[in-house]
Amino acid sequence: MNVGIDLIHFATADYYLGLDTFAAEKNIDVDKFYIGIGQEKMSIAPPDEDVVTLSAKAAAPILAQIDSDEITAVLFATESGVDQSKSAGVFMHGLLNLANRCRVIEFKHACYSGAAALQMATTMVRANPKEKILVIAADIAKYDVDTSGEATQGSGAVAMLITENPRIINIEPGSGYFTEDVMDFWRPNHRTTALVDGKYSTKVYLNSLKQTWDHFTEVTEKSFADIDYFCYHIPFTKMAEKAHKTLIRRAKATVNDVDFDAQTLPGQLYNRIIGNSYSASLFIGFISLLDNVDADISNKRVSFFSYGSGCVAEFFTGVMQPGYQSVLMTNNHRTQIMNRAPLSYTEYLAFYHQPDSTDENITFEHNNRGAYRLAGIQDYKRYYEKTASET
Ligand code: COA
């Protein structure tokens, strides 16, 4: 039975901070960002945007194409959830008027949880082909000001409809996975920003890639030459380049098997100008591949490497379905990215420092230009609203 991604769409915030602006403010050579880490811009969420509103923005165009009452479960992956108890997905379920006969749960493990949710959804559909599952991967990446992580922030949400006979990609059974208890990135419960041992995290990422690859090849007996396009978790695009080099060495790939740019570059273009979006970033990379690859990649095999600090990682593959182009939402993605407004460093700091969920009572200024926004918090309860711009 073929099971996989039937529809996929992403949303990002309405504002960005250019790393040229950032470099000028910090008196750093901009090439450290453009070349050294391979990033140009970071999508910055205003205070009235969170993972709930981003995910609603990501999912709405998918729901508009189906009978949304048929959604049997929402698996919501995030590291930047809005409540210690209530799933962010239940707020989204309310905003999007999903049916009550639907299960909603939140998945967490740093940047890995989106892949975990996708894998669980495919398993649920294989067990019961009537299931139609909405997988959400949504995060706002936030590090402390004046730390090395500050240049690798960003925000985004990906919504994926997982069904039998998918129109975009059939996710193949069989994956390589790896867990190791390490402290390369973590966020204690009281903090809104992550703590990170950045250089160490890049080493653990690459080791996890090697370990998952070894496991993947043992389980599936596939080789490097069986894969046409490679999508990696992208905290910054230089990391994907390092990953691909590492994989080529580990897999002992021959010169004929490697076309470095064709295999990886289209899958990095959006991430370069959106920044890190933790659990969403692997899938924004996949959408970037779909929207930007020149060739028809029907029947081609795509690999996915998911890495979540701490750490859990997984390597798996899928096969592109003929006719996939007819259901892509490329224009939506491009328009959103193009329509973002630039922020000065001072404006970015104003968004960054605005009161957060520790507030008991607050009404948020209207900065989020999307169809769904966080209106305020009263008695510690979050209130969302659909705005006039909803289509
Ligand atoms: N021109 C070109 N390249 C430059 C440069 C310049 N002017 N200045 C620096 N560079 C290069 C460095 O040589 C380095 O390249 P390398 O990684 O190939 O050695 C790269 O830019 C980064 O410079 P570095 O001094 O190491 O940056 P940093 O101390 O700010 O740390 C991270 C970079 C990624 C560790 C940091 O941004 C971070 O902690 N990010 C959050 C954690 C993260 O994303 N982890 C990834 C795994 S999940």
Q: Which residues of 335-369 are buried (b: 16+ CB within 10 A; e: fewer)?
A: ebbeebeebeeebbeebbeeeeeeeeebebeebbb
The Cα–Cα gap between 309 and 110 comes to 6
CA distance linking residue 240 with residue 305, whole number of Å: 10
Q: Which of 106, 109, 111, 215 is catalytic?
A: 111
Report how far apart the first and last C-alpha atoms of the chain are (Å, whole number).
36
Question: Is the entire prediction scored with pTM above 0.95?
Answer: yes
What are 11's two structure tokens? 């949303």
Fill in the amino acid letter for 82. Answer: V
Atom of ligand 1 nearest to the CA of 33: 21
H or E stretch covering 8? strand 3-11
Annotated active-site residue 233? The verdict is yes
79 is catalytic: yes
Peptide bond into 311 cis (omega under 30): yes
List Cβ neighbours of 328 (8 Å cut-off, separation of 6 or more).
Answer: 168, 290, 291
The CATH number of the structural domain formed by 3-386 is 3.40.47.10
Reading the chain (391 residues) residue by residue, the pLDDT tens digits are 999 999 999 999 999 999 999 999 999 999 999 999 999 999 999 999 999 999 999 999 999 999 999 999 999 999 999 999 999 999 999 999 999 999 999 999 999 999 999 999 999 999 999 999 999 999 999 999 999 999 999 999 999 999 999 999 999 999 999 999 999 999 999 999 999 999 999 999 999 999 999 999 999 999 999 999 999 999 999 999 999 999 999 999 999 999 999 999 999 999 999 999 999 999 999 999 999 999 999 999 999 999 999 999 999 999 999 999 999 999 999 999 999 999 999 999 999 998 766 778 999 999 999 999 999 999 999 999 998 654 4
The DSSP call for residue 180 is: -
Q: Residue 201 CA: which ligand 1 atom is closest?
A: 47
Identify the CA nearest to 147 among candidates 110, 82, 201. 201
Instruction: Say if residues 77 and 55 touch (Cβ distance below 8 Å).
Output: no
C-alpha span between 74 and 63 (Å, rounded) = 12
Ligand 1 centroid from CA 37, angstroms: 5
* Residue 29, ligand 1, Cβ within 6 A: yes
